């Protein structure tokens, strides 16, 4: 059985993961509109991954006799000044998710909820991987530079990164 405090914290995380999924979906739409096929595919995959993270939390709450609350998601931003600005927003959001997971693990420790703590370790590792991936994309953007011609090469790089990430999932 999960405490009410932990249940609320898990539901807050559900909302954060759901928000991330919708943010990335809106980013995919922006990328499509800008002709950035590789970036759009990457953001669609990211959106699906965040949705899966949310659903794992739902399942966990059910397994420990908690109640998962479906979050209300406000309209995410749907345009960006540049691809670099979009990926900076992704990185900032991933850092926010990491901070939230860290607070959850700290609460699980404080509450003595070893089951929750163990469950959350997957998220701890996942967030390290997510931040590293987005940071590497931002590094590539810096190397490639900005401008109309560089967008073509950047989109190809993001497409390759996405394909590599997809092959890891198989």
- Residue-wise pLDDT tens digits, 114-165: 999 999 999 999 999 999 999 999 999 998 887 778 888 888 888 988 898 8
d(CA 161, CA 137): 9
- pLDDT band at 63; cut points 50, 70, 90: very high
Closest to 158 in 3D by CA, of 43, 68, 8, 69: 43
**pLDDT tens digit string along 96-118?**
999 999 999 999 999 999 999 99
Say what the pLDDT of residue 62 is.
96
- DSSP E strands, 51-113: none
Do 18 and 49 contact (CB within 8 A), yes or no?
A: no
Residue with tokens 């659903």: 55
Angle at 26 between CA 90 and CA 12, to 5 degrees: 65
Q: What is the pLDDT of residues 7-47, one digit of tens each?
A: 999 999 999 999 999 999 999 999 999 999 999 999 999 99
Our CA angle for 65, 107, 55, nearest 5°, is 45
Domains of the chain: 4-169 (1.20.1260.10)
């Amino acid at each position: 059985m999960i405490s009410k405090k932990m249940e609320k914290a898990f539901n807050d995380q559900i909302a954060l993961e759901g928000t991330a999924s919708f943010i990335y979906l809106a980013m995919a739409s922006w990328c499509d509109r800008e002709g950035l096929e590789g970036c759009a595919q990457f953001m669609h995959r990211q959106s699906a991954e965040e949705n899966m993270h949310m659903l794992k939390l739902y399942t966990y709450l059910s397994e420990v006799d908690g109640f998962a609350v479906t979050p209300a998601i406000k309209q995410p931003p749907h345009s960006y000044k540049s691809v670099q600005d979009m990926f900076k927003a992704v990185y900032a959001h991933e850092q926010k998710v990491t901070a939230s997971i860290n607070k959850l693990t700290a609460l699980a420790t404080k509450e003595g909820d070893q089951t929750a703590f163990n469950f959350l370790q997957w998220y701890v590792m996942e967030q390290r991987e997510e931040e590293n991936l987005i940071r590497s994309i931002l590094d590539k953007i810096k190397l490639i530079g900005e401008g109309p011609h560089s967008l073509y090469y950047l989109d190809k790089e993001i497409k390759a990164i996405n394909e590599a990430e997809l092959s890891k999932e198989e």
